[in-house]
Chains A and B, each alone.
Chain A
Amino acid sequence: MRPKHIKKIIYHVFVSGLAVLLLYPVFWLIASSFKETGQIFATAGNLIPKPFTFENYAQGWQGMGNYGFDTYIMNTFVYVLLVLLGHLISCSLIAFGFARLKFTGRGIWFAIMIMTLMLPSEVLMIPQYIIFAQLDWLNSLKPLVVPAYFGHPFFIFLLVQFIRTIPRELDEAAIIDGCNTFGIFTKIILPLLVPALATTSIFTFYWTWSNLLGPVLYLNSPGNYTVSMALNMFLSNETVSNWGAMFAMSVVSLIPVFIIFFIFQRYVVEGISTSGLKG
């Protein structure tokens, strides 16, 4: 063999070996979810479940108390869809305003928007809670969902960047055809914005699906719990007997994330590479 080939083989062995090492905990989690609970730590070094069992999934799916895991999944989907709708509507409108319209104070508002991008939301946790408590919004989805209808700086920034690449000649042609500003937005920009809106949707899904802090603060009755809260509840009630069920439901909670990632990989990777979105 020529030295060039040997170099190539070493490269691939190293890179794929490192990748397997990195993902090994995830393989271990999946394998353990198919083991009998008593076997999980007794055979921790072995990835092949012996015997292979679905019992953990059946048990975990029944959930805890009066609610099955399907309730938590439905709750989370409703939460995600309401936030998603909010982000799509508000962020596209706001981004169009910043990217295409000339108005007094645009620069200042855009700078403010960028500054809020760097403001950690945990800092606002206490006062927002107090305000939502005054509004009598506690123990409902409102505090989690309503703010989504007023834009999100990351996605506004992403969409602004995207709209700036759309040629202005298209707007001008539309004006000649008698379109007003709103018509330019709906007929010209919005159809071309679909790829960036896809990126927005995917990241909104990820962040909302796995959000824990917001639901912990605002959803108090077990019937409203999200998947993340249910898993956390599993862990805090952890007894020797239900590791298997907890691992199985952890795997279930990751399935939608993996499915969406593998279908829309291109948007995810490009979204991060071009805008620096944190995944």
Chain B
Amino acid sequence: MQTHMKQNLWGYLFISPFIIGFLAFTIVPMIASLYFSFTSYNLFNPPEWIGFANYIEMFTSDPRYIQSLKVTFIYVLAGVPLQLVSALFVAMLLNTASRAVGLYRTVYYLPSLIGGSVAVAIMWRNIFGDEGIINLALQGLGLDPVRWFGNPTAALWMLIFLAIWQFGSSMLIFLAGLKSIPQSYYEAASVDGGSYFQKFFHITLPMLSPVILFNTVMQTIGTFMTFVPAYVISKGTGGPLDGTLLYSLYLFKQGFEFFHMGYASAMAWVILVVIAVITSLIFYSSKFWVHYESEGGR
């Protein structure tokens, strides 16, 4: 009994920073924001209870809110799959015994490393400018230049391309997964006369499915809350015509430009629920497509 008490004491002593931090910087703010979401609060006057008014306003009388939801869903639905497919493609390309692979891996990872910075956002804004190198390349290919900042759809795609450009960290995780697939599986398939595509769909994809699940979940959560590129590239406006008004940018503007703290808190809760539902759906669907080695009954 004595040692049991002592063990508990040591354990809680070591993890106490986490418990204190979790209560102070996560739980208390979450409860506070749930309360604020039912109030009208501008930081200077005391919060005023208004019930569900913020939540009702969002979906009935705030077209910019609906726009930001729409833009964010397009951004996630296009950005995440395209980024993961690029990551898997390059990972398979680099999964060879060549000595140069180490160097290639580094080079392909670099965009991921610097992608979240303001410097890259500035660079992106300028390569997509009217006289930027993207338009030069389009003209070189005989295509019409695009006015990336003149059209909300084009501007959003510019952000999606930036998300895809940063496929490096998912690629490294895929590469580690590919390396752990036993070579003997492929050899056995070759003996049975399996084609390249059969091997891909019957060995690579199933064996990689847990890694695909992990990458999908983490990228989806991260992409939903993208802030820096939209904020920097549109100079804080989310324009043109709210075409790049990603959810966290609109949340930021509601909170810190208009000082609608209550409304912004309600927005945060809605997106939290949306992300939780989508993540649960992905996990639920994984029962049907993720293959775990140990379930084979060894």
Contacts and interface: CB of A to CB of B under 8 A. Distances in A.
B275 A94 contact: no
B8 interface: yes
A131 B28 contact: yes
A128 B27 CA distance: 10
Nearest to B276: A118
Contact of B32 (A130, A236, A243): A130
Contacts of B69: none
Interface stretch (B55-63, B74-82, B172-180): B172-180
B154 interface: no
Interface string B143-185: 0000000000000000000000100110011011000000000
Interface residues of A, number: 86
A253 B117 contact: yes
Interface in B214-266: 214-215, 217-218, 221-222, 224-225, 227-228, 231-232, 235-236, 248, 251-252, 255-256, 261, 264-265
Contacts of B256: 129, 217
Interface in B63-109: 90, 93-94, 96, 98, 100, 104-109
5 contacts: A8-B98, A15-B94, A254-B117, A272-B109, A276-B214
Interface in A108-151: 109, 112-113, 116, 118-131, 133, 147, 149-151
Interface of A: 8, 11-12, 15-16, 18-19, 22-26, 28-29, 32, 41, 44-45, 90, 93-94, 96-98, 101-104, 106, 109, 112-113, 116, 118-131, 133, 147, 149-151, 156, 181, 185, 206, 210, 212-213, 217, 227-228, 231-232, 234-236, 243, 246-247, 250-251, 253-254, 257, 261, 265, 268-269, 272-274, 276-279
Interface of B: 7-8, 10-15, 17-22, 24-26, 28-30, 32-33, 36, 43, 90, 93-94, 96, 98, 100, 104-114, 116-119, 122-127, 129, 131-133, 136, 165, 168-169, 172-173, 175-176, 214-215, 217-218, 221-222, 224-225, 227-228, 231-232, 235-236, 248, 251-252, 255-256, 261, 264-265, 268-269, 271-272, 275, 279
A133 B248 contact: no
Contacts of A112: 22
A188 B20 CA distance: 26
B261 A130 contact: yes
A151 B18 contact: yes
B109 A269 contact: yes
A253 B118 CA distance: 9
Contacts of A236: 235-236
Nearest to B236: A236
Top 3 closest pairs, chain A to chain B, by CB: A150-B21, A103-B11, A97-B14
